[in-house]
A = this chain, B = another copy of it.
Amino acid sequence: MEQFKIYSAGNFITTSQSLPVVNPYSGEQFANTWLAGKSELEQSISKALSVQEQMKNLPIFKRFEILRTISEGLTYNREEFAHLLCMESAKPLKYALSEIDRAAQTFLVAAEESKRLPGEILSIDWSPAGKGKEGFVKYFPLGLIAGIAPFNFPMNLAVHKIAPAIASGNCLILKPARSTPLSVLKLAQLIDKTELPKGALSILPMDRESGNQLVIDERFKMLTFTGSPEVGWKMKSIAGKKKVSLELGGNAGVIISDTADITKAVDKCLVGGYAYSGQVCIHVQRIFVNKKGFNTFSDEFSAKVASLRFGNPENIDTDISVMIDEENAKRVENWVNEAVNQGAKILTGGKRHGLYFEPTLITNTKPEMLVCSNEIFGPVVILNSYTTFEQAVEMLNNSRFGLQSGVFTNSLYEYNYAIQNIETGGIIINDAPSFRVDHMPYGGIRDSGLGREGLKYAIMEMMEPKLIVKNLI
Protein backbone atom coordinates (compact mmCIF):
# COMPACT_ATOMS: atom_id res chain seq x y z
CA MET A 1 0.00 0.00 0.00
CA GLU A 2 1.34 3.42 -0.95
CA GLN A 3 2.54 5.64 1.89
CA PHE A 4 2.33 9.44 1.64
CA LYS A 5 4.45 11.32 4.14
CA ILE A 6 3.19 14.71 5.22
CA TYR A 7 5.12 17.89 4.51
CA SER A 8 6.15 19.75 7.63
CA ALA A 9 8.68 22.57 7.91
CA GLY A 10 10.42 21.51 4.73
CA ASN A 11 10.58 17.80 5.54
CA PHE A 12 8.51 14.78 4.60
CA ILE A 13 7.65 13.11 7.86
CA THR A 14 5.46 10.54 9.55
CA THR A 15 3.75 11.02 12.90
CA SER A 16 2.26 8.89 15.63
CA GLN A 17 -1.25 9.03 14.09
CA SER A 18 -1.70 7.26 10.79
CA LEU A 19 -4.57 8.19 8.48
CA PRO A 20 -5.89 5.51 6.14
CA VAL A 21 -7.26 6.74 2.83
CA VAL A 22 -10.23 4.93 1.32
CA ASN A 23 -11.48 4.77 -2.29
CA PRO A 24 -15.16 5.69 -1.93
CA TYR A 25 -16.15 3.73 -5.04
CA SER A 26 -14.56 0.43 -3.99
CA GLY A 27 -14.86 1.12 -0.30
CA GLU A 28 -11.30 -0.11 0.22
CA GLN A 29 -8.29 1.57 1.78
CA PHE A 30 -5.64 2.05 -0.91
CA ALA A 31 -3.11 4.31 0.75
CA ASN A 32 -1.90 5.63 4.05
CA THR A 33 -0.75 8.98 5.35
CA TRP A 34 -0.47 10.67 8.77
CA LEU A 35 -2.14 13.32 10.88
CA ALA A 36 -0.09 16.19 12.27
CA GLY A 37 -0.47 16.82 15.95
CA LYS A 38 0.38 19.82 18.05
CA SER A 39 4.13 19.37 17.93
CA GLU A 40 4.32 18.96 14.15
CA LEU A 41 2.15 22.01 13.74
CA GLU A 42 4.34 23.96 16.15
CA GLN A 43 7.45 23.01 14.19
CA SER A 44 5.84 24.06 10.95
CA ILE A 45 4.83 27.40 12.43
CA SER A 46 8.27 28.15 13.90
CA LYS A 47 10.02 27.26 10.70
CA ALA A 48 7.62 29.34 8.63
CA LEU A 49 8.10 32.38 10.86
CA SER A 50 11.84 32.04 10.47
CA VAL A 51 11.72 32.10 6.67
CA GLN A 52 9.04 34.79 6.34
CA GLU A 53 11.63 37.55 5.83
CA GLN A 54 13.31 35.48 3.14
CA MET A 55 9.96 34.95 1.40
CA LYS A 56 9.18 38.67 1.54
CA ASN A 57 12.48 39.44 -0.15
CA LEU A 58 12.38 36.67 -2.75
CA PRO A 59 13.08 38.37 -6.09
CA ILE A 60 10.20 38.31 -8.52
CA PHE A 61 12.06 36.19 -11.07
CA LYS A 62 12.55 33.52 -8.40
CA ARG A 63 8.87 33.50 -7.46
CA PHE A 64 8.00 33.29 -11.12
CA GLU A 65 10.38 30.44 -11.73
CA ILE A 66 9.14 28.44 -8.74
CA LEU A 67 5.51 28.82 -9.70
CA ARG A 68 6.07 28.11 -13.36
CA THR A 69 8.11 25.03 -12.57
CA ILE A 70 5.30 23.63 -10.44
CA SER A 71 2.79 24.38 -13.18
CA GLU A 72 4.88 22.53 -15.73
CA GLY A 73 5.34 19.62 -13.35
CA LEU A 74 1.60 19.22 -12.98
CA THR A 75 1.08 19.30 -16.73
CA TYR A 76 3.84 16.79 -17.29
CA ASN A 77 2.37 14.37 -14.74
CA ARG A 78 -1.30 15.12 -15.28
CA GLU A 79 -2.44 11.50 -15.78
CA GLU A 80 -0.75 10.34 -12.64
CA PHE A 81 -2.14 13.17 -10.55
CA ALA A 82 -5.62 12.72 -12.01
CA HIS A 83 -5.59 9.03 -11.24
CA LEU A 84 -4.70 9.63 -7.61
CA LEU A 85 -7.34 12.33 -7.31
CA CYS A 86 -9.89 10.00 -8.84
CA MET A 87 -9.04 7.27 -6.34
CA GLU A 88 -9.30 9.39 -3.21
CA SER A 89 -12.41 11.38 -4.19
CA ALA A 90 -14.42 9.20 -6.62
CA LYS A 91 -14.37 12.12 -9.03
CA PRO A 92 -14.93 10.78 -12.58
CA LEU A 93 -11.69 10.75 -14.51
CA LYS A 94 -12.66 13.32 -17.10
CA TYR A 95 -13.35 15.83 -14.35
CA ALA A 96 -10.21 14.80 -12.46
CA LEU A 97 -8.08 15.46 -15.53
CA SER A 98 -9.68 18.82 -15.97
CA GLU A 99 -8.98 19.65 -12.32
CA ILE A 100 -5.28 18.94 -12.76
CA ASP A 101 -5.18 21.10 -15.86
CA ARG A 102 -6.84 23.86 -13.94
CA ALA A 103 -4.40 23.54 -11.07
CA ALA A 104 -1.55 23.90 -13.56
CA GLN A 105 -3.25 27.01 -14.92
CA THR A 106 -3.70 28.35 -11.38
CA PHE A 107 0.04 28.09 -10.75
CA LEU A 108 0.83 29.62 -14.14
CA VAL A 109 -1.39 32.62 -13.59
CA ALA A 110 0.04 33.05 -10.09
CA ALA A 111 3.51 33.08 -11.66
CA GLU A 112 2.41 35.88 -13.96
CA GLU A 113 0.62 37.82 -11.25
CA SER A 114 3.66 37.74 -8.99
CA LYS A 115 5.24 40.11 -11.49
CA ARG A 116 2.33 42.47 -11.26
CA LEU A 117 1.89 43.03 -7.55
CA PRO A 118 0.17 46.37 -7.37
CA GLY A 119 1.43 49.75 -6.29
CA GLU A 120 0.04 53.21 -6.48
CA ILE A 121 1.33 56.75 -6.80
CA LEU A 122 -0.70 59.63 -5.46
CA SER A 123 -0.26 63.36 -5.16
CA ILE A 124 -0.61 64.53 -1.58
CA ASP A 125 -0.85 68.29 -2.11
CA TRP A 126 -4.61 68.46 -2.56
CA SER A 127 -4.71 70.96 0.28
CA PRO A 128 -2.01 73.38 1.47
CA ALA A 129 -1.23 70.93 4.31
CA GLY A 130 0.22 68.54 1.73
CA LYS A 131 2.34 71.07 -0.12
CA GLY A 132 5.63 69.68 -1.40
CA LYS A 133 4.68 66.08 -0.66
CA GLU A 134 3.90 63.09 -2.78
CA GLY A 135 2.87 59.61 -1.82
CA PHE A 136 2.92 56.07 -2.96
CA VAL A 137 1.54 52.78 -1.81
CA LYS A 138 3.43 49.50 -1.89
CA TYR A 139 2.00 46.16 -0.92
CA PHE A 140 3.76 43.79 1.46
CA PRO A 141 2.99 40.19 2.44
CA LEU A 142 0.77 39.80 5.51
CA GLY A 143 2.88 37.15 7.18
CA LEU A 144 2.05 33.57 8.05
CA ILE A 145 -1.21 32.27 6.58
CA ALA A 146 -3.38 29.31 7.57
CA GLY A 147 -5.23 27.58 4.76
CA ILE A 148 -7.98 24.99 5.01
CA ALA A 149 -9.13 23.17 1.88
CA PRO A 150 -12.17 20.95 1.21
CA PHE A 151 -12.59 17.49 -0.24
CA ASN A 152 -14.47 18.36 -3.39
CA PHE A 153 -11.60 19.85 -5.41
CA PRO A 154 -8.75 18.37 -3.36
CA MET A 155 -6.14 19.74 -5.73
CA ASN A 156 -7.32 22.97 -7.27
CA LEU A 157 -8.95 24.52 -4.21
CA ALA A 158 -5.78 23.83 -2.23
CA VAL A 159 -3.74 25.34 -5.05
CA HIS A 160 -5.90 28.47 -4.77
CA LYS A 161 -4.32 28.89 -1.32
CA ILE A 162 -0.78 27.77 -2.18
CA ALA A 163 -0.18 29.63 -5.42
CA PRO A 164 -1.22 33.11 -4.28
CA ALA A 165 0.66 32.66 -1.01
CA ILE A 166 3.90 32.02 -2.90
CA ALA A 167 3.20 34.77 -5.43
CA SER A 168 2.66 37.30 -2.66
CA GLY A 169 5.66 36.28 -0.60
CA ASN A 170 3.80 34.71 2.30
CA CYS A 171 4.32 31.47 4.18
CA LEU A 172 1.42 29.03 4.36
CA ILE A 173 0.38 26.07 6.43
CA LEU A 174 -2.27 24.14 4.57
CA LYS A 175 -4.69 21.60 5.98
CA PRO A 176 -6.25 19.42 3.27
CA ALA A 177 -9.48 17.51 3.88
CA ARG A 178 -8.96 14.29 5.81
CA SER A 179 -10.70 12.21 3.17
CA THR A 180 -8.65 13.56 0.24
CA PRO A 181 -5.13 14.48 1.34
CA LEU A 182 -3.13 12.57 -1.25
CA SER A 183 -3.02 14.52 -4.47
CA VAL A 184 -1.91 17.63 -2.63
CA LEU A 185 0.75 15.68 -0.73
CA LYS A 186 1.99 14.42 -4.06
CA LEU A 187 2.06 18.05 -5.18
CA ALA A 188 4.25 18.80 -2.17
CA GLN A 189 6.85 16.47 -3.66
CA LEU A 190 6.91 18.61 -6.82
CA ILE A 191 7.10 21.84 -4.86
CA ASP A 192 9.87 20.55 -2.63
CA LYS A 193 12.13 20.24 -5.68
CA THR A 194 11.88 23.94 -6.51
CA GLU A 195 13.84 26.77 -4.92
CA LEU A 196 10.97 27.70 -2.61
CA PRO A 197 12.59 28.28 0.80
CA LYS A 198 12.17 25.16 2.92
CA GLY A 199 9.42 25.62 5.46
CA ALA A 200 7.64 28.37 3.57
CA LEU A 201 4.94 25.80 2.88
CA SER A 202 3.72 22.95 5.06
CA ILE A 203 0.92 20.59 4.06
CA LEU A 204 -0.54 18.86 7.06
CA PRO A 205 -3.61 16.67 7.45
CA MET A 206 -4.59 17.36 11.05
CA ASP A 207 -6.55 16.14 14.00
CA ARG A 208 -9.33 18.38 15.25
CA GLU A 209 -7.29 20.07 17.96
CA SER A 210 -4.48 21.08 15.64
CA GLY A 211 -6.98 22.20 13.06
CA ASN A 212 -8.50 24.47 15.65
CA GLN A 213 -5.08 25.91 16.41
CA LEU A 214 -4.88 27.15 12.81
CA VAL A 215 -7.94 29.25 13.53
CA ILE A 216 -7.13 30.70 16.91
CA ASP A 217 -3.33 31.08 16.93
CA GLU A 218 -2.50 34.80 16.67
CA ARG A 219 0.78 34.11 14.90
CA PHE A 220 -1.27 33.49 11.79
CA LYS A 221 -2.08 36.80 10.16
CA MET A 222 -4.77 35.34 7.93
CA LEU A 223 -7.07 32.37 7.75
CA THR A 224 -8.27 31.35 4.32
CA PHE A 225 -10.95 28.72 4.49
CA THR A 226 -12.89 26.90 1.78
CA GLY A 227 -15.67 24.67 3.07
CA SER A 228 -19.13 24.65 4.54
CA PRO A 229 -20.94 27.82 5.69
CA GLU A 230 -21.58 26.48 9.19
CA VAL A 231 -17.94 25.74 9.90
CA GLY A 232 -16.69 28.88 8.16
CA TRP A 233 -18.76 31.43 10.01
CA LYS A 234 -18.02 29.82 13.32
CA MET A 235 -14.30 30.05 12.63
CA LYS A 236 -14.64 33.75 11.91
CA SER A 237 -15.97 34.38 15.40
CA ILE A 238 -12.98 32.77 17.12
CA ALA A 239 -10.26 33.89 14.74
CA GLY A 240 -9.08 36.81 16.87
CA LYS A 241 -7.24 39.62 15.12
CA LYS A 242 -6.32 37.74 11.98
CA LYS A 243 -7.90 38.48 8.63
CA VAL A 244 -10.44 35.87 7.54
CA SER A 245 -11.36 34.89 4.01
CA LEU A 246 -14.24 32.46 3.55
CA GLU A 247 -15.19 30.61 0.38
CA LEU A 248 -18.37 28.80 1.32
CA GLY A 249 -21.20 27.29 -0.63
CA GLY A 250 -24.57 28.26 -1.98
CA ASN A 251 -27.69 27.06 -3.72
CA ALA A 252 -26.94 28.54 -7.12
CA GLY A 253 -29.87 29.57 -9.27
CA VAL A 254 -30.19 30.01 -13.00
CA ILE A 255 -32.86 31.78 -15.03
CA ILE A 256 -33.89 30.59 -18.50
CA SER A 257 -35.59 33.44 -20.36
CA ASP A 258 -38.07 32.91 -23.21
CA THR A 259 -35.49 34.63 -25.43
CA ALA A 260 -32.84 32.01 -24.60
CA ASP A 261 -31.43 29.17 -26.68
CA ILE A 262 -33.08 26.24 -24.87
CA THR A 263 -30.83 23.44 -26.08
CA LYS A 264 -27.72 25.29 -25.12
CA ALA A 265 -29.22 26.04 -21.70
CA VAL A 266 -30.08 22.37 -21.19
CA ASP A 267 -26.57 21.22 -21.99
CA LYS A 268 -24.89 23.77 -19.76
CA CYS A 269 -27.27 23.04 -16.85
CA LEU A 270 -26.71 19.32 -17.21
CA VAL A 271 -22.99 19.62 -16.56
CA GLY A 272 -23.51 22.36 -13.99
CA GLY A 273 -26.07 20.28 -12.13
CA TYR A 274 -24.55 16.84 -12.02
CA ALA A 275 -20.79 17.03 -12.48
CA TYR A 276 -19.11 15.31 -9.51
CA SER A 277 -22.59 14.49 -8.18
CA GLY A 278 -23.27 18.15 -7.48
CA GLN A 279 -20.58 18.23 -4.81
CA VAL A 280 -19.52 21.64 -6.15
CA CYS A 281 -19.96 25.02 -4.45
CA ILE A 282 -21.50 26.52 -7.57
CA HIS A 283 -23.50 23.45 -8.59
CA VAL A 284 -26.75 24.33 -10.40
CA GLN A 285 -29.36 23.76 -7.70
CA ARG A 286 -32.34 25.91 -8.67
CA ILE A 287 -33.53 26.44 -12.25
CA PHE A 288 -36.20 29.03 -13.06
CA VAL A 289 -37.67 28.75 -16.56
CA ASN A 290 -40.00 31.22 -18.23
CA LYS A 291 -43.36 29.47 -18.34
CA LYS A 292 -43.49 29.82 -22.13
CA GLY A 293 -40.51 27.51 -22.47
CA PHE A 294 -40.99 25.42 -19.34
CA ASN A 295 -42.31 22.23 -20.88
CA THR A 296 -39.78 22.17 -23.68
CA PHE A 297 -36.96 22.69 -21.24
CA SER A 298 -38.30 20.24 -18.72
CA ASP A 299 -38.73 17.44 -21.25
CA GLU A 300 -35.36 17.91 -22.88
CA PHE A 301 -33.59 18.24 -19.53
CA SER A 302 -35.25 15.24 -17.86
CA ALA A 303 -34.33 13.03 -20.75
CA LYS A 304 -30.72 14.03 -20.65
CA VAL A 305 -30.47 13.68 -16.87
CA ALA A 306 -31.88 10.18 -17.11
CA SER A 307 -29.22 9.22 -19.62
CA LEU A 308 -26.18 10.14 -17.52
CA ARG A 309 -23.79 7.18 -17.23
CA PHE A 310 -23.06 5.88 -13.74
CA GLY A 311 -19.88 3.92 -13.12
CA ASN A 312 -16.34 3.54 -11.85
CA PRO A 313 -14.79 7.01 -11.66
CA GLU A 314 -11.61 5.70 -13.23
CA ASN A 315 -13.50 5.02 -16.44
CA ILE A 316 -13.20 7.97 -18.84
CA ASP A 317 -16.81 7.56 -19.99
CA THR A 318 -18.32 7.75 -16.53
CA ASP A 319 -20.52 10.84 -16.03
CA ILE A 320 -21.44 10.23 -12.42
CA SER A 321 -20.18 8.02 -9.64
CA VAL A 322 -20.64 7.61 -5.89
CA MET A 323 -20.68 10.48 -3.43
CA ILE A 324 -17.84 11.11 -1.04
CA ASP A 325 -19.37 9.08 1.81
CA GLU A 326 -22.55 7.44 2.99
CA GLU A 327 -23.35 10.16 5.49
CA ASN A 328 -23.72 12.67 2.70
CA ALA A 329 -25.65 10.33 0.45
CA LYS A 330 -28.11 9.73 3.26
CA ARG A 331 -28.43 13.42 3.98
CA VAL A 332 -29.39 14.04 0.36
CA GLU A 333 -31.88 11.19 0.50
CA ASN A 334 -33.52 12.68 3.57
CA TRP A 335 -33.84 16.12 2.03
CA VAL A 336 -35.37 14.72 -1.12
CA ASN A 337 -37.82 12.67 0.89
CA GLU A 338 -38.80 15.72 2.92
CA ALA A 339 -39.53 17.59 -0.30
CA VAL A 340 -41.61 14.80 -1.75
CA ASN A 341 -43.54 14.47 1.50
CA GLN A 342 -44.36 18.16 1.30
CA GLY A 343 -45.66 17.98 -2.24
CA ALA A 344 -42.65 18.16 -4.53
CA LYS A 345 -42.60 15.96 -7.61
CA ILE A 346 -39.66 13.93 -8.84
CA LEU A 347 -39.17 14.15 -12.60
CA THR A 348 -36.30 11.69 -12.70
CA GLY A 349 -34.00 9.92 -10.23
CA GLY A 350 -34.57 10.25 -6.51
CA LYS A 351 -33.11 7.04 -5.10
CA ARG A 352 -29.99 6.19 -3.12
CA HIS A 353 -27.90 3.02 -3.66
CA GLY A 354 -25.27 2.93 -0.94
CA LEU A 355 -22.95 5.88 -1.63
CA TYR A 356 -24.56 6.46 -5.02
CA PHE A 357 -27.42 8.89 -5.31
CA GLU A 358 -29.17 8.98 -8.67
CA PRO A 359 -29.10 12.20 -10.68
CA THR A 360 -32.37 13.72 -9.60
CA LEU A 361 -34.66 16.42 -10.97
CA ILE A 362 -37.51 17.79 -8.84
CA THR A 363 -40.29 20.25 -9.48
CA ASN A 364 -43.22 21.78 -7.56
CA THR A 365 -40.96 22.71 -4.66
CA LYS A 366 -41.44 25.46 -2.11
CA PRO A 367 -38.61 27.84 -1.16
CA GLU A 368 -38.52 26.69 2.46
CA MET A 369 -37.87 23.02 1.65
CA LEU A 370 -34.34 21.92 2.54
CA VAL A 371 -33.59 21.00 -1.09
CA CYS A 372 -34.18 24.67 -1.99
CA SER A 373 -33.08 26.69 1.02
CA ASN A 374 -29.94 24.76 1.96
CA GLU A 375 -26.89 23.80 0.01
CA ILE A 376 -27.73 20.31 -1.27
CA PHE A 377 -24.16 19.38 -2.27
CA GLY A 378 -25.53 16.38 -4.13
CA PRO A 379 -26.87 15.43 -7.57
CA VAL A 380 -30.23 17.13 -7.13
CA VAL A 381 -31.66 19.97 -9.20
CA ILE A 382 -34.92 21.88 -8.62
CA LEU A 383 -36.91 23.11 -11.61
CA ASN A 384 -39.66 25.72 -11.46
CA SER A 385 -41.29 28.25 -13.79
CA TYR A 386 -41.75 32.01 -13.62
CA THR A 387 -43.93 34.60 -15.34
CA THR A 388 -41.95 37.85 -15.48
CA PHE A 389 -38.20 38.31 -15.46
CA GLU A 390 -38.40 40.60 -12.44
CA GLN A 391 -40.19 37.81 -10.60
CA ALA A 392 -37.52 35.31 -11.61
CA VAL A 393 -34.84 37.56 -10.17
CA GLU A 394 -36.80 37.85 -6.96
CA MET A 395 -37.11 34.05 -6.71
CA LEU A 396 -33.42 33.62 -7.37
CA ASN A 397 -32.50 36.25 -4.76
CA ASN A 398 -34.77 34.62 -2.20
CA SER A 399 -31.91 32.76 -0.53
CA ARG A 400 -29.54 33.27 2.34
CA PHE A 401 -26.69 32.54 -0.06
CA GLY A 402 -25.20 34.53 -2.91
CA LEU A 403 -22.29 32.88 -4.67
CA GLN A 404 -22.94 32.67 -8.40
CA SER A 405 -25.96 32.66 -10.67
CA GLY A 406 -26.70 32.17 -14.34
CA VAL A 407 -28.98 33.86 -16.82
CA PHE A 408 -29.80 32.57 -20.29
CA THR A 409 -31.28 35.43 -22.30
CA ASN A 410 -31.04 37.41 -25.51
CA SER A 411 -32.78 40.47 -24.12
CA LEU A 412 -30.63 43.51 -23.45
CA TYR A 413 -33.22 44.70 -20.96
CA GLU A 414 -33.02 41.45 -18.99
CA TYR A 415 -29.24 41.53 -19.20
CA ASN A 416 -29.11 44.99 -17.64
CA TYR A 417 -31.78 44.15 -15.10
CA ALA A 418 -29.94 41.01 -14.02
CA ILE A 419 -26.63 42.82 -13.55
CA GLN A 420 -28.22 45.54 -11.49
CA ASN A 421 -30.50 43.36 -9.36
CA ILE A 422 -29.25 39.81 -8.94
CA GLU A 423 -27.50 39.54 -5.61
CA THR A 424 -24.66 37.07 -6.04
CA GLY A 425 -20.90 37.44 -6.25
CA GLY A 426 -20.87 36.38 -9.89
CA ILE A 427 -23.46 36.40 -12.65
CA ILE A 428 -22.86 34.23 -15.68
CA ILE A 429 -24.76 35.36 -18.76
CA ASN A 430 -25.66 32.55 -21.16
CA ASP A 431 -23.85 29.90 -19.21
CA ALA A 432 -24.42 28.00 -15.99
CA PRO A 433 -23.54 29.49 -12.59
CA SER A 434 -21.05 26.67 -12.20
CA PHE A 435 -18.75 28.37 -14.70
CA ARG A 436 -15.35 29.23 -13.28
CA VAL A 437 -11.94 29.98 -14.72
CA ASP A 438 -9.16 30.36 -12.26
CA HIS A 439 -8.13 33.94 -12.81
CA MET A 440 -11.55 35.46 -12.41
CA PRO A 441 -12.64 36.98 -9.08
CA TYR A 442 -14.60 34.32 -7.27
CA GLY A 443 -16.52 34.53 -4.03
CA GLY A 444 -19.90 35.05 -2.50
CA ILE A 445 -21.94 37.56 -0.62
CA ARG A 446 -24.40 36.94 2.23
CA ASP A 447 -23.81 33.54 3.84
CA SER A 448 -21.70 32.40 0.91
CA GLY A 449 -18.53 33.99 2.13
CA LEU A 450 -16.16 36.85 2.64
CA GLY A 451 -13.46 38.02 0.26
CA ARG A 452 -12.54 36.90 -3.22
CA GLU A 453 -10.26 34.28 -4.71
CA GLY A 454 -8.96 34.14 -8.27
CA LEU A 455 -5.24 34.77 -8.35
CA LYS A 456 -5.01 38.53 -8.51
CA TYR A 457 -7.77 38.89 -5.95
CA ALA A 458 -6.46 36.23 -3.55
CA ILE A 459 -3.02 37.81 -3.76
CA MET A 460 -4.46 41.19 -2.82
CA GLU A 461 -6.19 39.65 0.20
CA MET A 462 -2.83 38.28 1.30
CA MET A 463 -1.07 41.63 1.19
CA GLU A 464 -1.11 44.77 3.28
CA PRO A 465 -0.74 48.25 1.81
CA LYS A 466 1.98 50.55 3.11
CA LEU A 467 1.72 54.26 2.40
CA ILE A 468 4.89 56.26 1.97
CA VAL A 469 4.63 60.04 2.02
CA LYS A 470 7.74 61.80 0.83
CA ASN A 471 8.54 65.44 1.44
CA LEU A 472 10.13 66.93 -1.67
CA ILE A 473 11.06 70.29 -0.22
A residues contacting B by CB (< 8 A) are 59-61, 64, 101-102, 105, 109, 112, 115-133, 135-138, 233, 236-238, 240-241, 243, 409-416, 419-420, 424-431, 435, 437-442, 445, 447, 450, 452, 464-472
Contact = CB atoms under 8 A, between A and B. Distances in A.
Contact of A241 (B120, B123, B236, B425): B236
Q: Of A419, A424, A469, which is in contact with the most chain B CB atoms at under 10 Å from its CB?
A: A469
B465 A425 contact: yes
A232 to B, nearest CB: 10
B437 A129 contact: yes
A26 B408 CA distance: 60
B137 A470 contact: no
B124 A437 contact: yes
A101 B450 CA distance: 36
A123 to B, nearest CB: 5
Contact of A427 (B236, B431, B468): B468
A25 to B, nearest CB: 26
A471 B122 CA distance: 21
B129 A441 contact: no
Contact of A441 (B105, B137, B412): B137
A59 B125 contact: yes
21 contacts: A59-B125, A59-B131, A105-B127, A115-B126, A119-B136, A121-B138, A124-B440, A237-B237, A409-B412, A410-B412, A411-B412, A412-B412, A412-B429, A415-B415, A416-B470, A419-B466, A427-B469, A429-B470, A430-B470, A431-B471, A442-B467
A123 B117 contact: yes
Q: Of A132, A416, A427, A467, which is in contact with the most chain B CB atoms at under 10 Å from its CB?
A: A467
A126 B430 contact: no
B138 A419 contact: yes
A136 B136 contact: yes
A446 B117 CA distance: 22
Contact of A122 (B409, B424, B430, B440): B440
A102 to B, nearest CB: 8
Contacts of A447: 241
Contacts of A118: 121
Contacts of A137: 121, 441
A437 B128 CA distance: 10
B61 A127 contact: yes
A314 to B, nearest CB: 23
Counting from the closest, the 9 A-B pairs by CB-CB distance are A119-B121, A430-B471, A426-B467, A130-B437, A429-B470, A59-B125, A112-B112, A60-B125, A428-B469
Given A126-B115, A126-B439, A452 B465 contact: yes
A101 B127 CA distance: 10
B469 A126 contact: no
A185 B400 CA distance: 36
Contacts of A419: 138, 466, 468
A428 B469 CA distance: 5
A270 to B, nearest CB: 16
A411 B414 CA distance: 10
Contact of A450 (B119, B243, B425, B431): B243
A223 to B, nearest CB: 13
Contact of A435 (B60, B117, B469): B469
A107 to B, nearest CB: 13
Given A136-B121, A441-B467, A467-B441, A472 B126 contact: no
Contacts of A237: 237-238, 240
